[in-house]
Amino acid sequence: MKKKKTLSIQKYLSIFKGLRLPWLFLTLSVAGAILSYLFTLNLADLTADVVSATGDVKKTKLAGYVIAALMVVIGTTASYWFREIAAQKINLSLRIKLWKKLVHLPRNQYDKDGGEGFVSRITTDCTFSSTFFTMMVEFASLAVGVVIYYVELFSTNATISAASILLLPVTVLIAWGYGRLCYLLNLNNQERLSETTEYLIERVYNMPLLRAANMQEKESQAGVQRFATLYKVEIQKGLLASLNTFINGAVPVISMAIVFVVGAGFVNAGAMTAGGVYAFYLVANSAAVLFANIVEYAGSIRGSIGAMERVAETLEQAEEDVKSGEITPKNGKVTVEHVTFGYTGASILNDAEITIPENKLTVIVGSNGAGKSTLFRLLERFYVPKEGAICVNGKAAGEYSVESWRHRIGYMPQDGVLMAGTIRTNLSMGADHLYSDEEINVVVKQLALEPFFASLPDGFDSAVEAGGKNYSGGQRQLLGMMRVLLYDPEILLLDEVTSNLDAHSARQIKGALKEICQSRTVVMIAHDLQTILEADHALILRDGKAVYAGDPRQVLTEINDYRREVMGQ
Amino acid sequence: MNEQSTAKEGKWKSFFCLLAHGKIAWGFVAIGYIISLASGAIALQFSNKMGDLVAGDFSMGTLYGFIWMTALYALFNGLSNIVMTIAQTKSVKNLRTVLWNKLMRLPSSHPMSSKSSEMLSTITVDATTSMTYVLMCLVGIPTAIYFVVLAAIQAASMSTRFLIPIFCLVPVYVVYGIIIGKLNQKTNVKVQTSIGMLTGFLSERLRNLDLIKAYNSQLTEEEAGTEAARKLYKQNCFLTTINTGIILYTLLFDSVCVIMAVLFGSSMIKAGTLRPQEWANFFILLPMVNNMLRSASGMWVNAKGALGFTARISALLEAPEEKTDGKAVDKIGNIALCNVSFSYGEKRVLDRISFTIPMGKRTAIVGYSGSGKSTLLNLIERFYTPDEGVITLAGENIAELELCDYRNKIAYVQQDTGMFSGTVREALLYGITDEKSDDELLDVLKKVSLYEDVQRLPAGLNSKVALWGASLSGGQRQKLVIAREMLKPSPIILLDEPTSALDLTAQSTVFDAILHYFDGRTIVTVTHDLRLIAEADQIVVIDNGMVVAHGIHTELLDRCELYKKLVEEKAFEEVYGE
């Protein structure tokens, strides 16, 4: 059982390593809590006096009560405020720490849960960790409170205290059991919850398919089934929460019953006044509330361990080292030497040997899954080959620093990819300043995009929504093209960058590329024949190998030969 | 001012709409309601017994009565909690089912249809939030009022002067509900927005991490992320401070309650108008009234906060559904578009388009991207209804035909719709009602040259396809979708860029399959693929939402400049030059 999912204390503490924890706030929170516990005792005494005095309330007593009540209020609120602000401070520094880590993780770390899984790690999981931390602090002040109360209780009446302290082991046992239950349920539920969410996401994002296939009736039934599963999960959760409320309500009530029943004996025997019993009850009640809280905290702490484990794991991973190594030379010849690579199982590149001719437009042709995009990812050093090496001037890539390497070799993904901001911020990516109009205009001219920018209301400062949603696929590609040119690498890797452009714009871009190749090396993945024919050099990838390198005009023959070969079997 | 008040009314209306259409588990709500009321009455009895004890009456009768009441009180509290949990969860489930059924039948033109993430959160988050708070309010507030009234009656029976502090408390919590509730709500919205911004920022960056790495801009992004996190921190701190204020307010009033009880009681006892026992009773009662009022105003605040969610749900519940009834489709013929115009919002996409798609022939639609080609197919599929003009099938207005029947006549390969996770077999049979043998399935897979790929999978047709079909390449997905549509006997085939994700070899295989397999049926293709265009019986050239020319390949080359440009003669000759 232990082996399964126990987060070791060291691993847990490693989350907070190097963080500046708000110790002052946390201490003040505990201090506030203790203040309120102490004055609650006073308050109980005074209340009892007030009750017993049967009408004869002295002004000094009342004043004492008011002051004590005020201190409890101040102590409680201050404790709350300091604790919550401390939690927010921890959240913030942990989020920053995690984000800094994520930005620097090597690419292959993202493949496991698709990158976006990390989002919830920062937004949600971080909160769990800090909640855990502040809860521990609160737990500590609770413990102090319980001790303070019981010292007082025992000094008042040892018999009743002994009776009511019996609750302690019971509560602890319940807390343990409850925590265990929470943990087990959460483990199962998370899975079923995400299944249902996945089902819904798929359908909701693909509604046209569902409608075109006339599947409303069947999907309705499937949906009902999913909701029923979800219902089971939620009802378990809900009942568990009710159980918690029940315990929360029952513990103080039971403690009260004990106090009054035992106290009644003393009153009847004349050993205690009714007011004394009431005062005792008030203190015992506060202690019981603390007990009940222990149950609740135990539950949430157990429930959040899984989340913290993920945070700790992420923080443990090694960062990508981008600085060390030689500066990549400016005019280097890039060769791919006997490279074999696969993401998980099967190899995608198989002993591939490729030479990229300088200052030429090279197209890479190949069927789906031949390894074209993977080759680009290796060339950009997002991944490291399993065997063989990518070399510049005969020296393996590992000798050069990643940063300088990526500055020499620019990369443009198929979509162009815009992020929220303005066109200018998007174009200035990777630069140390925002580009001026003059700097951008050079590229605008190069690609003949004047009409496009003339049509934008705010020119280069036009807003870009998240994911570049307010621009068409073609426009995103044009802007991506501008960005890679502004970044000014010597080698450009372009992944089907004209696929969303209309024929006219595509031709314009290709014309511009011709010129760019005078002084730069361009490598392009292409599917359309026209682009292939206009290139200087062509490579055909098949099954992870370069099967052809040479004149683009031969590509068609090559492909047709292959087709005949395959079909002819 | 006026507008604001109507907006508010609209919101409360949404509350009732949810009650009416949300399929609430009324049975459980009723039981929960009864138990809650009973637990209120017990609480009152309990406070009496406790008062007796405090006043010094420790006789066996009082003691047993007290223990008895204590147990009952705890029991009923627990019970009402459990019943209300069941009522809520059941109602949420029912509401989800209603919403899901509604969402699938919304017309595509409904604004919600294009906002997938909103649809999703409506079913998952909004349903839970609104239902929970609405039910809590529905049961909790009457219970609280009931308790306060009972308490007031009891207090009045002891001394009418006790009514004064009770009624003093009421405005305190009305103020609480209105002012603090609003403040809290506003800050909450701000926090949610900040969380949304942070999430948006992070997911955009993490999705495009390749780009960030390629541009060496990790450090810039580090700072930007820190900034986004800091904004959220500030909002959270503000919210915490407000919450602290709320706690301060309630704690202070707890104390004020006790002081009031002491002041009122002591003077009356001195004057001899009140027995100590009564005073003790009241001393216990007043904080309980205070608690009840507080929790009721808290529920009110929560319910008000949830109104935003409720409004979205009721808007959805009241939205019209796709019109499905109509005449059965009894004959297939030419499809004719007559003066069809269509706009997305302000933007006119199609402008008085008229042409005929002849039955059993191949029609290709060409034009620059954004010229309205896909919209045209969506109108024929009846995802949208034309703003003006009509589309007819064999002379019948398609809007008059029975929707299901009509869509069954059409096989539609959409541009980037994929498939749902499940097995290859399930993906192939999606939307297909009649039985298909394995041989039939393998046969169509062969036609789109996917047979070998499927054979290579560990479980063949029964192999799992991952979420979004992610375990397949783009080309394999496209082939699978085409194979799926081949399994349908539909006489009309709509193809939107059916070969866009395929490589050269696969393109021609799939192209052959389309031409031969669908031969004799009405085929409408939106395409850039030169071979598909060249084989068409009719080519329609669309520019800026208008038909600029139609005819066959050789004709159009002669007389349509735009077509010439589009076709890029040179590439065409290269392909067919051999």
Tens digit of pLDDT for each residue in A303-348?
A: 667 777 778 888 888 888 888 888 888 877 889 999 999 887 678 8
| Min Cα–Cα distance to chain A from B541, Å | 14
Lowest mean pLDDT among A532-541, B73-82, B102-111: B102-111
The torsion region of residue A65 among left (phi > 0), alpha (psi -120 to 50) and beta comes to alpha
Cβ–Cβ pairs < 8 A, chains A and B: 362
CA-nearest residue to A417 within chain B is B208
Contacts of B209 in chain A (CB under 8 A): 107, 110, 115
What number is the average pLDDT over the span A497-508? 76
Interval A131-151: pLDDT, tens: 777 777 777 777 787 788 778
DSSP B109: T
Lowest mean pLDDT among A188-197, A487-496, B373-382: A188-197
Does the pLDDT at position B503 exceed 70? no
Mark yes or no for CB contact A84/B70 under 8 Å: no
C-beta of residue B193 within 8 angstroms of C-beta of residue B228:
no
CA-nearest residue to A419 within chain B is B204
Mark yes or no for CB contact B78/A250 under 8 Å: yes
Q: What is the mean pLDDT of chain B?
A: 82
Interval B10-24: pLDDT, tens: 567 788 888 888 888
E strand or H helix that includes residue A412: strand A409-412
| Min Cα–Cα distance to chain B from A158, Å | 20
Q: How far is CA B17 from CA B20, B307, B319, in A?
A: 5, 12, 12
| DSSP sequence for A76-132 | HHHHHHHHHHHHHHHHHHHHHHHHHHHHHS-GGGGTTTTTTHHHHIIIIIHHHHHHH
B116, B244, B570 member nearest A80 (Cβ): B244
Higher pLDDT, B76 or A247: B76
- Chain A interface includes B192 (CB < 8 A): no
Q: Between residues 138 and 177 of chain B, which touch chain A (CB distance below 8 Å)?
A: none
Mark yes or no for CB contact B100/A70 under 8 Å: no
* A423 — pLDDT class (breaks 50, 70, 90): very high
CA distance A483 to A461: 15
Mark yes or no for CB contact A274/B53 under 8 Å: yes
Contacts of A228 in chain B (CB under 8 A): 93
B266, B369, B468 member nearest A202 (Cβ): B468
C-beta of residue B394 within 8 angstroms of C-beta of residue B332:
yes
What pLDDT sits at residue B103? 85
What pLDDT sits at residue B571? 44
What pLDDT sits at residue A135? 74
C-beta of residue B418 within 8 angstroms of C-beta of residue B477:
yes
Does the pLDDT at position A35 exceed 70? yes
Chain centre distance of CA B445: 36
What pLDDT sits at residue B377? 92
Contacts of A263 in chain B (CB under 8 A): 58
- Chain A interface includes B109 (CB < 8 A): no
Interval B518-568: pLDDT, tens: 888 999 998 877 777 878 899 999 888 889 888 888 888 888 888 877 765
A96, A208, A473 member nearest B383 (Cβ): A208
Kindly state the percentage of chain B with pLDDT values over 70. Answer: 93
Mark yes or no for CB contact B408/A250 under 8 Å: no
* B504 — pLDDT class (breaks 50, 70, 90): low
DSSP B22: S
DSSP B397: E
What number is the average pLDDT over the span B312-340? 86
Mark yes or no for CB contact B113/A207 under 8 Å: yes
Contacts of A559 in chain B (CB under 8 A): 504-505
* B570 — pLDDT class (breaks 50, 70, 90): very low
CA-nearest residue to B217 within chain A is A430
C-beta of residue B36 within 8 angstroms of C-beta of residue B143:
yes
3 state DSSP class of A46: helix
Mark yes or no for CB contact A115/B88 under 8 Å: no
Q: What is the mean pLDDT of chain A?
A: 80
Mark yes or no for CB contact A95/B229 under 8 Å: yes
Residue A127 CB contacts under 8 Å (≥ 6 apart), including other chains = A91
Residue A13 CB contacts under 8 Å (≥ 6 apart), including other chains = none
| Min Cα–Cα distance to chain B from A73, Å | 6
Residue B268 CB contacts under 8 Å (≥ 6 apart), including other chains = A55, B159, B161, B274, B279
Mark yes or no for CB contact B85/A239 under 8 Å: yes
Higher pLDDT, A169 or B101: B101
| Overall pTM > 0.80 | no
What pLDDT sits at residue B71? 84
- Chain A interface includes B120 (CB < 8 A): yes
- Chain A interface includes B236 (CB < 8 A): yes
Contacts of A223 in chain B (CB under 8 A): 96-97, 100-101
Mark yes or no for CB contact B74/A267 under 8 Å: no
Interval B139-189: pLDDT, tens: 888 888 898 898 889 888 887 878 888 888 888 888 877 887 778 777 877
Q: Please choose, from the candidates B293, B274, B301, B266, the residue with its C-alpha nearest in 3D space to the C-alpha of residue B151.
A: B293
Higher pLDDT, B409 or A56: B409
What ipTM, to 2 d.p.? 0.77
Kindly state the percentage of chain A with pLDDT values over 70. Answer: 89
| Min Cα–Cα distance to chain A from B241, Å | 7
Q: Please choose, from the candidates A362, A355, A353, A365, the residue with its C-alpha nearest in 3D space to the C-alpha of residue A558.
A: A365
The torsion region of residue A393 among left (phi > 0), alpha (psi -120 to 50) and beta comes to left
Residue B48 CB contacts under 8 Å (≥ 6 apart), including other chains = B154, B281
Residue B361 structure tokens? 């022939």
* A2 — pLDDT class (breaks 50, 70, 90): very low
Mark yes or no for CB contact A420/B417 under 8 Å: no
- Chain A interface includes B466 (CB < 8 A): no
- Residue from B57, B204, B235 to probe the interface with A (highest A Cβ count within 10 Å): B204
Contacts of B500 in chain A (CB under 8 A): 499
Mark yes or no for CB contact B233/A77 under 8 Å: no
A116, A203, A275 member nearest B203 (Cβ): A116
Does the pLDDT at position A52 exceed 80? no
Lowest mean pLDDT among A124-133, B70-79, B353-362, B462-471: B462-471
What number is the average pLDDT over the span A30-37? 89
Contacts of A122 in chain B (CB under 8 A): 198, 202, 229
Contacts of A474 in chain B (CB under 8 A): 369
| Min Cα–Cα distance to chain A from B454, Å | 15
What number is the average pLDDT over the span B446-469? 80
B85, B412, B421 member nearest A242 (Cβ): B85
What pLDDT sits at residue B572? 36
- Chain A interface includes B208 (CB < 8 A): yes
Segments in A409-502 forming alpha helices (H)? 423-427, 437-446, 450-454, 473-487
What pLDDT sits at residue B5? 39
| Min Cα–Cα distance to chain A from B258, Å | 9
What pLDDT sits at residue B540? 93
Mark yes or no for CB contact B74/A47 under 8 Å: no
Does the pLDDT at position B508 exceed 70? yes
Higher pLDDT, B442 or B11: B442
Q: Please choose, from the candidates A405, A329, A356, the residue with its C-alpha nearest in 3D space to the C-alpha of residue A517.
A: A356
| Min Cα–Cα distance to chain A from B552, Å | 20
Does the pLDDT at position B492 exceed 90? yes
B89, B210, B505 member nearest A238 (Cβ): B89
Contacts of A566 in chain B (CB under 8 A): 505
Half-sphere exposure of A365 (CA within 13 A, CB side): 29
Contacts of B207 in chain A (CB under 8 A): 115-116
DSSP B123: I
Q: Please choose, from the candidates B468, B472, B444, B439, the residue with its C-alpha nearest in 3D space to the C-alpha of residue B457.
A: B472
Does the pLDDT at position B576 exceed 50? no
Mark yes or no for CB contact B211/A215 under 8 Å: no
Lowest mean pLDDT among A397-411, A429-443, B254-268, B446-460: B254-268
Lowest mean pLDDT among A418-432, A479-493, A522-536: A522-536
What number is the average pLDDT over the span B211-225? 83
C-beta of residue B534 within 8 angstroms of C-beta of residue B572:
yes
CA-nearest residue to B214 within chain A is A406
B215, B252, B417 member nearest A208 (Cβ): B417
Interval A345-387: pLDDT, tens: 678 888 889 999 888 899 998 776 778 888 998 998 888 899 9
